[in-house]
């Protein structure tokens, strides 16, 4: 078959998107998904998403990592699929869609290139030595760092992701440097098994963890700088629960094409 696809990127996180509302494409084939995401032998992407119909929602987001395996929630992917849904005229400027971690509300700008995506509430943050561990739709490890621009994120992230604690289930490893007016974040992502240019659930996890570390409460707005650009995370924290969490940033159409399957 000839598969029509679209490429989007959100702060450097790039994704293959497919309109699968007619269920023409059977995506239960890990080897095929991995090949499509391969940057040398396929289209290339940090992951692939299928937009499908779901009763009671505008659409369903079905996401696979670049290794071909079904993934937990992808924040930047969620923002990109909202932009794709607007392009397909499924939605206008607001939506509620279904993802693997439940319903998500989102708003998109009139121009269609800036998306605010509501993330799940977070009540539990634990510690692993000095690092923070939490789930923002995907599991994350947050470690404070200095001179982050020169850190070997691939080697250090990989060593944590595959240590005895995390090797079976996997975890995303985030390193953060606090510059006062913004946080600089670099992330090693499981499933991609490499550093990515951005990670939406990771940026969210970092913002929450740093608010806890600093003892902040109330309405909090955090500017996040990543290799691929800039994101924003805003939320409420009452000292017990993080709620009204929004991941905000660009979602940009790159190109469309066809590939023979």
Structure confidence by residue, pLDDT tens digits, 121-160: 999 999 999 999 999 999 999 999 999 999 999 999 999 9
pLDDT of 111 reads 87
Nearest to 13, CA basis, from 60, 40, 42, 48: 48
User: Which listed residue (37, 80, 144, 199) is catalytic?
Assistant: 199
Q: Calculate the average pLDDT of the chain.
A: 97
* DSSP structural state of residue 120: P
Q: Do residues 80 and 10 touch, judged by C-beta distance below 8 A?
A: yes
Domain borders along the chain are: 2-119+251-260, 125-244
Structure confidence by residue, pLDDT tens digits, 66-102: 999 999 999 999 999 999 999 999 999 999 999 999 9
Please give the Cα distance from 237 to 260 (Å, whole number).
49
Q: Do domains 2-119+251-260 and 125-244 have the same CATH topology?
A: yes
Q: List Cβ neighbours of 26 (8 Å cut-off, separation of 6 or more).
A: none
**Which residue in the block uniquely carries the two structure tokens 């998403």?**
49
Structure confidence by residue, pLDDT tens digits, 180-212: 999 999 999 999 999 999 999 999 999 999 999
Residue 37 is among the residues annotated as catalytic for this protein = no
Residues 31, 32, 37, 38, Cα dihedral to 10°: 60
Structure confidence by residue, pLDDT tens digits, 96-129: 999 999 999 999 998 888 999 999 999 999 999 9
Please give the Cα distance from 54 to 190 (Å, whole number).
28
pLDDT of 92 reads 96
Quick one: CATH architecture of 2-119+251-260?
Roll (3.10)
Chain centroid to CA 200: 4
Number of H helices and number of E strands within the chain? 4, 17
pLDDT of 112 reads 87
Q: Do residues 140 and 171 touch, judged by C-beta distance below 8 A?
A: yes
Q: Do residues 9 and 228 touch, judged by C-beta distance below 8 A?
A: yes
User: Which listed residue (37, 74, 80, 144) is catalytic?
Assistant: 74
Please give the Cα distance from 242 to 219 (Å, whole number).
10
Domain 125-244: state its class.
Answer: alpha beta
Please give the average per-residue pLDDT across 174-184, as a whole number: 98
Residue 144 is among the residues annotated as catalytic for this protein = no
């Amino acid at each position: 078959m000839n598969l029509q696809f679209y490429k989007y990127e959100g702060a450097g996180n790039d994704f293959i998107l497919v309109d699968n509302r007619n269920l023409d494409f059977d995506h239960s084939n890990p080897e095929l998904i991995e090949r499509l995401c391969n940057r040398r032998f396929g289209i290339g992407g940090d992951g692939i998403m299928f937009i499908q119909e779901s009763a009671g929602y505008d659409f369903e987001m079905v996401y696979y990592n670049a290794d071909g395996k079904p993934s937990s929630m992808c924040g930047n992917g969620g923002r990109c699929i909202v932009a794709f849904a607007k392009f397909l005229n499924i939605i206008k400027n607001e939506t509620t869609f279904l993802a693997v971690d439940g319903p998500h509300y989102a708003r998109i700008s009139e121009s269609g290139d800036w998306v605010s995506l509501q993330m799940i509430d977070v009540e539990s943050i634990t510690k692993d030595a000095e690092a923070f561990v939490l789930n923002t739709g995907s599991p994350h490890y947050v470690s404070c760092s200095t001179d982050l621009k020169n850190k070997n994120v691939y080697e250090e992230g990989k060593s944590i992701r595959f240590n005895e604690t995390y090797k079976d289930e996997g975890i995303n490893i985030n390193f953060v440097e606090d510059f006062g007016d913004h946080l600089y974040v670099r992330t090693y992502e499981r499933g991609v098994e490499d550093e990515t240019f951005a990670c939406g659930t990771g940026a969210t996890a970092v913002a929450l963890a740093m608010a806890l570390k600093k003892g902040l409460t109330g309405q909090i707005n955090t500017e996040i700088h990543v290799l691929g650009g800039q994101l924003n995370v805003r939320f409420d924290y009452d000292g017990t629960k993080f709620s009204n969490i929004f991941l905000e940033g660009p979602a940009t159409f790159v190109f469309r094409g066809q590939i023979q399957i």
